[in-house]
Structures are given as C-alpha cells and as structure tokens.
A and B are shown apart, each in its own frame.
Chain A
C-alpha cells in the first residue's frame, strides 16, 4: 500500500513535443504529490506539486494532472526542450509522513 509506481522507466521525445510521465499509488490517505527533477551529478529539485483537492495544476510548461478515483497522477511537459532532459521522480506522502518515491523516469529530448 505504500508503493508509488512510475512509468515509463525511460522516454525519448522530439523537441517541441509533449512529454508525459505517469504515477500510480495505492494508499488513499496520501495527500501531497510532488514531482522532482534531477540533472546528472545534482540532487533532485522540486518542480511542481499538487494536493488532491484540485485535478490539475499548471506552472509554465509543466502541468500535473490528478485523478483521485483512479489513484493516478501525471506530469505533462509541453513544448519539450533539450534542457528538460533529466530524470523525473514522482512522490507521495500523507500528512507530513515520509515521502514515498517512484523509481524515476529518464527523459531525453531529441533536438
């Protein structure tokens, strides 16, 4: 019940395309869902986060879509750029208990 399953493991998208990464969770008590971006040799950095009281949150080219009934949430990167090439992690937590992390998606944007 504590797992967060992330897919795909890797993703190649053409420049200008839409990148979509999906996560699924089991614990219905989770109430905080962040996405982190990690470049090689660096620590992860918070990209965007959502709570289950909204179905979508957008920040620039990055959007989280949240489906509470399906227990799924996804990250959409519009107009993907080579600088977006990184590893992306989803995570989930319940009331400030520890974050449970997905396994990560390595995204490559081809110029």
Chain B
C-alpha cells in the first residue's frame, strides 16, 4: 500500500517554464488536494477535488491548474513558473470527500530561478 505518491521529489525550473507535478493515491480516496508550504506560513491550499471530474480553487490558485480525470490521479500544472512559486508542494487525500484525516505525500521541492 503506497499511500500518496508524489513525483518528482526535487525540481529546478527557469522563470517562464511550465511543468506538471504528479500525485497518485491508491486508497480510493475521493478528496484530493494540493498545498504549498512556505517557511513561517503553514500550508496554503492551492486546488482541491471532491471526486473525478470535479475541481475547485483554494486559497492561492493563481498560476496553477489542475484536472481530475480519475480517482487515483490529481496532477498540478504550473503554467508559467515564477520565482514566487518556489516552495514545497504537498498532495493530500482523504476518504469520503471531506478534508478530515488528510494523508500527505512526501512533497516536491520546487525552485524557480
């Protein structure tokens, strides 16, 4: 049982480049979400999904795009990377379409130069 798997673990981008952070879970969780973690700021919700085909914006959605075509996968796309997007990104999932008892991946450390 792998839980929540994020790839890659580390990534360096140049300003303006685009990329996709991958997230997959094998727990059949309906709720999936993306957070960014910055020092001294806790975690901030970027986008979330309560099921396949359903996505919604969180607190800081600008510059990011998501889709949910399957229950298992929830990729996060950076459309045109900016230095302000340098952060650690976490994908999280939970059972039953709620944000209670979140299971987190190990994170992706992203640097935008």
Give me the interface of A with B, judged by CB distance under 8 Å: 4, 6, 9, 32, 34, 36, 41-46, 49, 89, 91, 93, 96, 98-99, 101-104
Contact = CB atoms under 8 A, between A and B. Distances in A.
Given A42-B106, A43-B105, A43-B107, A34 B41 contact: no
Contacts, number: 54
B74 interface: no
Interface residues of B, number: 22
Contact of A44 (B41, B43, B58, B100): B43
Q: What DSSP secondary structure best describes chain B's contact surface?
A: loop
Nearest to A104: B42
B72 to A, nearest CB: 18
Interface of B: 4, 40-45, 48, 58-59, 90, 92, 98-107
B44 A101 contact: yes
Given A44-B43, A103-B41, A98 B48 contact: yes
Contact of A98 (B45, B101, B104, B107): B45
A101 B42 contact: yes
Nearest to B90: A43
